[in-house]
């Protein structure tokens, strides 16, 4: 059997002969069956579970405006809007760097990256791990594709690119707000 059937049961009260001496309340129950193919249902559940779990596991000490931007990146991914997801992930990171005081208003992520490169040369303590730092630049570049039509490489963004961008964003947020 390749189908799974669900029954949606609705239970509610109906008022009969309202406003008369014969007014009564009756319980009414309706059942509506839904059938899905097992593979289609399994695919839907797996996609939903994986993507939404990323959003739910975000550390709790992240400011709400940053979390909202991150959640929008995840929602964009879940809607198969991978380009929008990548752009929102970049925006999330820029806002996080701004809130942490690592960049100033109107200053770009690129200036933060340049400053971190200088720290590495001088053996000064960096804010992010080497791994996350290296990937942060990729997110910045993907996000820039969304802002500048002339170098429209954004059309080449794949589902895998969007997943990687969200995962890196989450890791960067965790590192930024754990200190």
Give me the pLDDT at residue 24, please. 92
Q: Exposed e or buried b for every residue in 79-95, given b needs 16+ CB within 10 A?
A: eeebbbbbbbbbbbbbb
Q: Which residues of the chain have pLDDT under 50?
A: 53
Residue 99 lies in a domain: yes
The residue segments making up the domain with residue 72 are: 58-177
Residue 28 lies in a domain: no
Residue 150 lies in a domain: yes
Q: 7 forms bridges with which residues in the sheet? A: 33
Give me the pLDDT at residue 53, please. 47
Cβ–Cβ under 8 Å, residues 3 and 41: no
Residue 11 lies in a domain: no
Give me the pLDDT at residue 152, please. 60
Residue 82 lies in a domain: yes
Domain CATH number, residue 129: 1.20.120
d(CA 95, CA 112): 12
d(CA 174, CA 168): 10
Count of structural domains, the chain: 1
State the DSSP string of 18-36: TTSTT-EEEEEEEEEEEEE
Give me the pLDDT at residue 20, please. 92
Give me the pLDDT at residue 143, please. 67
Residue 42 lies in a domain: no
Residue 123 lies in a domain: yes
């Amino acid at each position: 059997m390749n189908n799974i059937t669900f029954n949606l049961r609705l239970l509610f009260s109906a008022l009969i002969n309202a406003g008369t001496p014969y007014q009564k309340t009756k319980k009414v129950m309706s059942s509506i069956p839904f059938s899905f193919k097992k593979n289609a249902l399994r695919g839907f559940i797996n996609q939903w579970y994986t993507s939404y779990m990323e959003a739910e596991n975000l550390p709790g000490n992240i400011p709400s405006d940053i979390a909202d931007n991150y959640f929008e990146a995840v929602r964009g991914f879940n809607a198969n809007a991978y380009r929008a997801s990548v752009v929102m992930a970049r925006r999330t990171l820029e806002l996080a760097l701004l809130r942490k005081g690592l960049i100033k208003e109107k200053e770009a992520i690129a200036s933060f990256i340049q400053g971190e490169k200088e720290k590495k040369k001088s053996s000064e303590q960096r804010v992010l791990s080497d791994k996350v730092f290296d990937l942060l630049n990729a997110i910045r570049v993907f996000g820039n594709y969304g802002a500048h039509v002339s170098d429209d490489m954004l059309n080449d963004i794949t589902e895998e690119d969007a997943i990687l961008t969200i995962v890196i964003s989450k890791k960067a947020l965790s590192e930024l707000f754990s200190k």
